[in-house]
Structure 1
Amino acid sequence: MRIDDHWIDHQDGRLFARSWTPRAATAAVPIVLLHDSLGCVALWRDFPAALAEATGRRAFAYDRLGFGQADARTGAMPLDFVAEEARRFFPVVLEQLGIERFAVFGHSVGGGMAVHCAAAMQARCVALITESAQAFVEDRTVRGLLAAREQFQEAGQMHKLARHHGDKAAWVLEAWLGTWLSPQFATWSLAEVLPRVTCPALVIHGADDEYGSARHPEMIAELIARSTGAQARIELLADTGHVPHREQPEALIAAVRDRLAALA
């Protein structure tokens, strides 16, 4: 396994990216991973390497602006930040990493961003994979956010966040909780963009996800299949919460490997 680090120059600041190239890499299109609201490249841990090895494809992950090793982002997170990632940042990442066609994999809010990327780049995206993606803001989502806000009041929690985001940790937390709990964000949904996804999709969700019921993967798969006729398969993992790539990594990797192999 070869691991390489990359820096992406964007007009708003530098982004950090990492790639994993398996020993038996094929010419198949790579997988690009989009992290969750508190995530970064480092917090994927060994998952990208295992995914690359199992699929025989290169895997790429990057720190969004304001997260991990990327430059800081100032001001409040815009309410259209999910769509904005696909519009303003993802194309620059692809260009500077030399990626033409790709499969996109997003966890949590990264899943929503992956949906937007697949919709915006129909000719280049060969597969969409979402993990624990929210399709709208439901009561369970709000309850989970409120519980997380209480947890971050405990001693040591911000220190843990700062280990990965440095002095950007307070901004990262506010970008998550402040945005998702904002009354102006309550009507956010993927309903309008999902019908524009034309590639096959694998929609992975934990049955015990604390931030979203099974209605989220159902909505994602239903709107993709109904509107475009694209194949959309749901994998609902039993006894699994919001982070299947840590809780059930073998099952998740097997599902992705088999789905991509079938498409190939």
Structure 2
Amino acid sequence: MTTVDQQDALLRLGENHLFTRSWMPFAADASRRTPILLLHDSLGSVELWRSFPEKLAVTTGRRVVAYDRLGFGRSDPHPGALGLDFIADEAQSVVPQLCEQFGIGDFIACGHSVGGCMAIETAAHWPGRCRALVTIAAQTFIEERTLAGIRVAQHDFQDPDNLARLARYHGDKTPWVLDAWIGTWLSPAFADWTLDGPLAGVRCPVLAVHGERDEYGSLRHPWRIAEGRGETLILPGIGHVPHREAEGTLVAAIVEFLSLLLPSGEKVPAGG
């Protein structure tokens, strides 16, 4: 039995199009509840969220919206190199257009890895609209553990089989996707990047989730994200992808977090 109304759509972004997907649960009050906006990681896409968005929609009773960033998945190719300000730019330029297309006023920002960084930037840039922030395996500064993990991945992607698996989701955009991740994060010009400024601007409650065995970031990141703003959830034995490694635990934690913050009868404003 279908539990959500799943819909795909293309968002016009200048001369380009972004692939989007939304999951609306068949709950009577779902339209009154603040929707969740999902932001994917450096190699991610809508499809790579797997079953997580639908389960999140059903369990929270909220609409969930995800999209492929420009250059990823089924969105159009990126017209050039990824700018060093790409994290902040996504929050400032793309998120408001996405919200406008979907008629979203207030929202809950939820992101994985660099998508979590974008969720932090989004919460800071739109404090009057972001009701809650959930980060999953997000980074807040450049540390050697992150760079070491990327170097390992860089070596692993020399294997044609690994490259082919990634190409299932990104097609002929795969080389660009890899360079946008590896080339950007290993660039000396990116070495001083931090989220100190945006974190200082976050005004909503925060849940920072991190795997104990995350190969791309130490526990300093979730502690830094949640300090004075909310709570951390450290998942024992879990690595960098909690929504696949511990999906049930993660969904339950988000449900509990949101249930304590937002009343079931909440009304989503019509505008921002």
> Which bracket does the TM-score occupy, shorter chain normalised?
over 0.9
Aligned to 1:90, the other structure's residue is in SS state helix
| Aligned: 1:9 with 2:12 | yes
Work out which of the residue numbers 242, 245, 254 in structure 1 matches 2:243.
245
Structure 1: distance between partners of 2:40 and 2:145: 21
How far apart, CA to CA, are the structure 2 residues paired with 1:23 and 1:115? 29
Unaligned runs of 5+ in 1: 226-230
Q: CA deviation at 1:9?
A: 0.5
Alignment of structure 1 residues 10-25 onto 2, 5 Å = 10-24=13-27
Change (3 A) 1:155 1:4: same
Give the superposition deviation at 1:125: 0.6
Q: Give 3-state SS (helix, strand or coil) of 1:147's partner.
A: helix
Structure 1, residues 184-210: CA drift from partner, whole Å, max 9, x if none?
111111011101000001000001000
1:112 to 117, 122, 132: 117
- The SS at the match of 1:105 is strand
Report 1 or 2 for greater relative contact order, CA contacts < 8 Å, sequence distance ≥ 6: 2
Task: State the one-letter code of the partner of 1:147.
Answer: V
The reply on whether 1:183 has 2:188 as its aligned counterpart is yes
Q: Secondary structure at the match of 2:94?
A: helix
Cα deviation, 1:97-120, whole Å, max 9, x if unaligned, reads 111110010000000000010111
Displacement of 1:74 after TM fit? Answer: 2.4
Task: Pick from 207, 215, 220 the counterpart of residue 210 of structure 1.
Answer: 215
**Paired letter, 2:148:** R
- Counterpart of 1:248, as a letter, is A
For residues 119 and 6 of structure 1, the distance between their equivalents in structure 2, rounded to whole angstroms, comes to 27
Distance in 2 of aligned mates of 1:12 and 1:197: 32
SS at match of 1:156: helix
Partner of 2:65, secondary structure, is strand
Q: What is the one-letter code of the residue matched to 1:85?
A: E
Shift of 1:146: 0.4
**What is the root-mean-square deviation of aligned Cα atoms in Å?**
0.9
Give the aligned length.
257
Counterpart Cα distance in 2 of 1:213 and 1:237? 13
| Alpha-carbon separation, structure 2, partners of 1:184 and 1:219 | 23
Q: Does 1:262 align with 2:245?
A: no
Question: AA paired with 2:201?
Answer: R
- The equivalent position to 2:225 in structure 1, one of 220, 227, 230, is 220
